[in-house]
């Protein structure tokens, strides 16, 4: 299995809603990532989990709350979002980050296209 699976593919939510994005991989990767991508912009790093522990938070507002229940799953909990948070949210995974000499890059999921109304 060489895939990263994200659900849902599309999500429309109101500014008072609470929703969660889910990401799953079964490649044995121990690093997982959340990126945000707006139209015609590059993916921007939000969070990095290494061995199920949060290692990087790129000063993301608290209305985004990541969770890594186990080595295969990564969630992003959303609450009280703003319309400007509408974007493509990409999950990615990579192999053991302690072996940087053999870092082969990320595998991305297909993303969740989020619209906040």
Q: 61, exposed or middle or buried, with CB in 10 Å at 0-12, 13-18, 19+?
A: exposed
Beta carbon of residue 58, minimum distance to other proteins (angstroms, whole number): 8
Centroid of chain to Cα 6: 9
- Footprint of other proteins on 53-112 (CB under 8 A): 55-56, 88, 90, 94, 97, 100, 103-111
Q: Is 83 left (phi over 0), alpha (psi -120 to 50) or beta?
A: alpha
Question: What percent of the residues of the chain are helix, what percent strand, and what percent coil, each to the nearest 5?
Answer: 5, 55, 40
By CB under 8 A, the count of residues binding other proteins is 27
Q: Which is nearer to other proteins, 15 or 56 (CB)?
A: 56
Beta carbon of residue 16, minimum distance to other proteins (angstroms, whole number): 28
CB 73, CB 23: distance < 8 Å: yes
Stretch that binds other proteins, among 18-26, 50-58, 65-73, 78-86 (CB under 8 A): 50-58
Instruction: By CB under 8 A, name the binding residues for other proteins.
Output: 31, 33, 40-45, 48, 50, 55-56, 88, 90, 94, 97, 100, 103-111, 113
């Amino acid at each position: 299995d060489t895939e990263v699976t994200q659900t849902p593919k599309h999500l429309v939510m109101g500014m008072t809603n609470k929703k969660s994005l889910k990401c799953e991989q079964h490649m044995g990767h121990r690093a997982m990532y959340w990126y945000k991508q707006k139209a015609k912009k590059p993916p921007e790093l939000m969070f990095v989990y290494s061995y199920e522990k949060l290692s990087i938070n790129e000063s993301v507002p608290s209305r985004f709350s990541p969770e890594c229940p186990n080595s295969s799953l990564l969630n992003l909990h959303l609450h009280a979002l703003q319309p400007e948070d509408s974007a493509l949210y990409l999950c990615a995974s990579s192999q053991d980050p302690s072996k940087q000499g053999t870092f082969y890059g990320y595998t991305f999921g297909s993303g969740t296209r989020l619209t906040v109304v």
